[in-house]
A and B are shown apart, each in its own frame.
Chain A
Amino acid sequence: MNTVIFRTLAPVIVATMLVFSVYVCLRGHNEPGGGFIGGLIAAAAIGVFGMASGVATVRKALRVDPMAIAGFGVVMAGASGLMSLFIDAPFMTSIWLYLDIGESVVPLSTPLFFDLGVYCVVFGTLSAIALSLESDREEDI
């Protein structure tokens, strides 16, 4: 699998997939998509990257342990639910904030952060599994 063509093309594919995964995640509230699918796409990208460049390279590029990303995701999702405590509403009541930046309006909301948390969990967990399966030798997991 480690052909020159694949190795050369892989970074392009991976980059495209990663950007696309974030796009899918963000558009999810109104169009097909969402954190879960986005996370799956990103994890697939990491899998491809691992095949092409080796696990060590991917780990270095990620900088953070994938499992830590997953943990961060759970914390972020939980914290976005806790936000509603500040407006004295039940747990996970969504809060919306419309930011006016010049011409356009950017809607921010707690479900958005919740969805990003889901993205991180799915991405982190599946990447961790994929990477540890890919690494044949006695590398760290």
Chain B
Amino acid sequence: MWPASETGIVFVAIAPFVAAILAPFLFRIAGGFTGWLLALVPAAIFLFLLGFAETVIGGGAIAVSVNWIPAYDINLSFFIDGLSLVFALTISGIGALIVLYSGAYLAGHPHQGRFLGFMLAFMGAMLGLVLADSLLALFLFWELTSVTSFLLIGFDHTRQAARRGAIQALVVTNIGGMCLLAGAILVQQLSGSWEMSTLRGMGDLLRDHALYGLVLFCFLGAAFTKSAQFPLHFWLPNAMEAPTPVSAFLHSATMVQAGVYLLARMSPVLGGTQAWTSILVIFGGLTLIWGALGALKQTDLKQILAQTTIASLGLLVLLIGLGSTYSIAAAIVYFVAHAFYKAGLFMVAGAVDHETGTREITGLGGLAEKMPATFIAAAMAALSMVGLPLTIGYFAKEEMYLGLMSGDWTSLVVIVVLIAGNAMLAGVALIVAIRPFLGVVVPTPRTPHEAPLAMLAGPVLLGAAGIVAGVLPDWLGHDVLVPAASAILQRPVESHLTLALDVTSLLLWLSVLTWALGILVYRQADTIRTLLRRFDAWLGWTADNVFDACMFGLIRFSGAVTRALHHGRLELYLVLVFLTLAVALFGPMLAWGGLDWMVPKADLGDWSQRLVLPALQPYEWGVIAMAIAGLLAVLAAPTRLIAILSMGVQGTALALIFLLFGAPDLAFTQLMVEVLSVVILTFLMTRLRLDDRDPRPFEDWARDGTLAIVCGVGVSLLLMLVLNGTLDTRLSDLFTATSVPIAHGHNIVNVILVDYRGFDTLGEISVVMGAGMAILALLRRQRKKAAEKPAPRRRTRKAAP
């Protein structure tokens, strides 16, 4: 076990964020070298994580847990096994190259520091995601990748297309994030654990549960949105509005692979069922074909690569769905191969764009002479993508086909889909590597020359890595495939990767068939593109349009709701408020038999005989008469001022009743509130220059009157109901008993306000102050409006002479 692993892993999770915060400041000091300096952070993380390789290859795992919210038993726990280590190493390794590349790609950009900061933060989120063991930590990092990728995609925020792409990615991936949260909570409720490592040891608990379908839906929703599975794939091509380094990072090894990672992670817990296999295989296959066709439609280098990413993601999902030893092995090898070649090709596309000024495949040609190193990098990546022997891509393809040799009809269908998808991807690889670099030289907007070293390092190294891994099958098998596949399958796996070509095996001939079809696709690329575009034009709409329609509908709907509720007529607001009060009063009373007590249980006989007036003192009668008189005066008041004053009279009488019946605090407050109400209402009336009188149509009068009576009756009935039952005095007993000994106060009302329920009071006074500020703002606005009116006249007068 690594001695400093605990602090080390936490450091890995934090370091990128710290570097991200420092990046803009570093940029101010270091200028053009920022990229080189910041690339050290992911490089250091890469080397640090490499230190765990020995343990993990030996079949071990490292678990680290930090107390996060102990009260709820939530830990910030990390877990490193084969699967997470392969992902983490790929992320940090490619991350270092990408940061280096971005430094050169955005050379001279004023916001380069900010960009590198976003990039590092994103990388940190991604690393956290693959290292996390707690489902909540996973969710946290998952959302962080959404937010940081939003910032990255929308980096070029002055362009509308970039903003749209960013928002689209955020909306779609956040729907998935919500699914993940729901799924995580559901799983915790069902199993009692947040830790995925514990869940893996629980066997079929979740698979056999009645809610398995719901859990599966939540997790698949998260994975499918993040990994852009059909029909949620549309956000990925639009995310290409980001600067190329972003695409190279997000769409090769990170962001979009998060969904694949989640599926791989959860497959020991949720996988292997009929539903799991069929959903993953069907959607993965559809996505594969759809993405590959999409790639053939495009002429923009980045768009082509984006569409192939969709296809590759579909392929990975399909492989995880199949779940056999071979297909899981294929998924691991394919993930690594894809990360290498796709990041390399994106960086090549960026370099070409950077040096020539265009990414249109039709406007490029013969660049190999001017940019030899870039061409070599592109060629190496493309060979891996085609899957020729001696590249890592070859093994990925071999493994895929190997798993489907059983010969039943589902395997046959899947293998046909795989061959078709792989052939199209191979054709696209050839297009991307050959079209811009070989053939006739086409004049470009900028005179092309070789890209700078920092931009070459990434693609060349990744291309070479793809070849090196391809000639070392023992290393690839033993050190990468076995630990990761064992982590997914939860049982030891044997590697059987070999360089030997067996001409008698059907496998080799399937590969040959794929390559042949790939070459065919390459030769007929233009025809296929024309046909596909014609089909698109005939279809007329895309998932992208549907998204737009949904968003537009949402905006229209919220606008309609706002207009309906927020119409600006105080009178109707009040009607609504009191209507709600009436419903809230009568609804529960009628529903739960709150009025039953009024029905007499026995024959009452001549009940009018026993009706007596309550025994009250004459002055008490006087106060009650005063309240009623005030009320009648309000109703009969000819002018507003009299109505306000009568209200005051009624309120004062109420305060007196409180005083007489033993609630002096309430009486005090009521009295002061009455005084201030009268004063403020009078001021308001003069301020708003209201008429003295308030004539109202009979309908209004009847409506408001009815509502008032209904609410009043409701409150009275509620109070009678409360008095009718036995009062639960536990709380008041507690307060009475403890008010002096522990709160040192005799006035229980005040003790409750400032001590027992002090936190509520704190909230209330904050609301009082907030309301005060809102009122002041309204008054000031009204005053400003009044003050502005004469202003234009003054201006014209000034301008005249």
Contact with B along A106-141 (1 / 0, CB 8 A): 010101001101100110111011101110101001
Contact of B683 among A30, A34, A44, A134 (CB under 8 A): A134
A35 touching B768 by the CB < 8 A rule? no
B755 touching A94 by the CB < 8 A rule? yes
A118 touching B761 by the CB < 8 A rule? yes
| Residues of B639-666 contacting chain A, CB below 8 A | 664-665
The answer to whether A44 and B679 touch (CB under 8 A), given A34-B747, A78-B762, A111-B754, is: yes
Contact of B744 among A28, A29, A129, A130 (CB under 8 A): A29
B interface majority secondary structure: helix
B765 touching A122 by the CB < 8 A rule? yes
What are the residues of chain A within 8 A of B683 when measuring CB–CB? 130, 133-134
CA distance A133 to B684 in the complex (A): 6
CA distance A24 to B750 in the complex (A): 12
Contact with A along B749-767 (1 / 0, CB 8 A): 1110111001101100110
Contact with A along B766-791 (1 / 0, CB 8 A): 10110111011001100100110000
Q: Does B722 contact A (CB under 8 A)?
A: no
A43 touching B669 by the CB < 8 A rule? no
- Residue of B687, B768, B773, B783 with most chain A CB atoms under a 10 A cut-off: B768
What are the residues of chain A within 8 A of B772 when measuring CB–CB? 67, 70, 124-126, 128-129
The answer to whether A31 and B746 touch (CB under 8 A), given A37-B665, A81-B758, A114-B758, is: yes
CA distance A35 to B755 in the complex (A): 13
The answer to whether A132 and B776 touch (CB under 8 A), given A29-B751, A118-B754, is: yes
A interface majority secondary structure: helix
A111 touching B672 by the CB < 8 A rule? no
A30 touching B747 by the CB < 8 A rule? yes
The answer to whether A37 and B759 touch (CB under 8 A), given A121-B768, A133-B779, is: no
The answer to whether A36 and B669 touch (CB under 8 A), given A77-B762, A130-B683, A138-B787, is: yes
Contact of B680 among A35, A96, A111, A133 (CB under 8 A): A133
What are the residues of chain A within 8 A of B679 when measuring CB–CB? 44, 47, 130
The answer to whether A34 and B754 touch (CB under 8 A), given A70-B769, A130-B683, is: yes
CA distance A59 to B503 in the complex (A): 98
Shortest beta-carbon distance from B616 to chain A in Å? 23
Shortest beta-carbon distance from B492 to chain A in Å? 52
Contact of B672 among A44, A117, A136 (CB under 8 A): A44
| Residues of B679-714 contacting chain A, CB below 8 A | 679-680, 683-684, 687
What are the residues of chain A within 8 A of B668 when measuring CB–CB? 24, 32-33, 37
Contacts between chains A and B (CB distance < 8 A), count: 141
Q: Does A11 contact B (CB under 8 A)?
A: no
Shortest beta-carbon distance from B678 to chain A in Å? 10
Shortest beta-carbon distance from B667 to chain A in Å? 8
A126 touching B746 by the CB < 8 A rule? no
The answer to whether A29 and B769 touch (CB under 8 A), given A44-B675, A129-B680, is: no
CA distance A32 to B749 in the complex (A): 8
Contact with B along A53-90 (1 / 0, CB 8 A): 00000000000000100110110011001000000000
Name the CB-closest residue of A to B779.
A132
B747 touching A125 by the CB < 8 A rule? no
B676 touching A118 by the CB < 8 A rule? no
Q: Does B673 contact A (CB under 8 A)?
A: yes
The answer to whether A109 and B669 touch (CB under 8 A), given A33-B750, A126-B676, A138-B783, is: no
Q: Give 15 CB contacts A-B under 8 Å.
A: A29-B746, A40-B669, A43-B676, A44-B676, A47-B676, A67-B769, A70-B772, A74-B769, A77-B761, A77-B762, A96-B744, A125-B769, A129-B775, A132-B776, A133-B779
Chain A residues with a Cβ under 8 A of chain B: 24, 28-37, 40-41, 43-44, 47, 67, 70-71, 73-74, 77-78, 81, 91-92, 94, 96, 107, 109, 111, 114-115, 117-118, 121-122, 124-126, 128-130, 132-134, 136, 138, 141
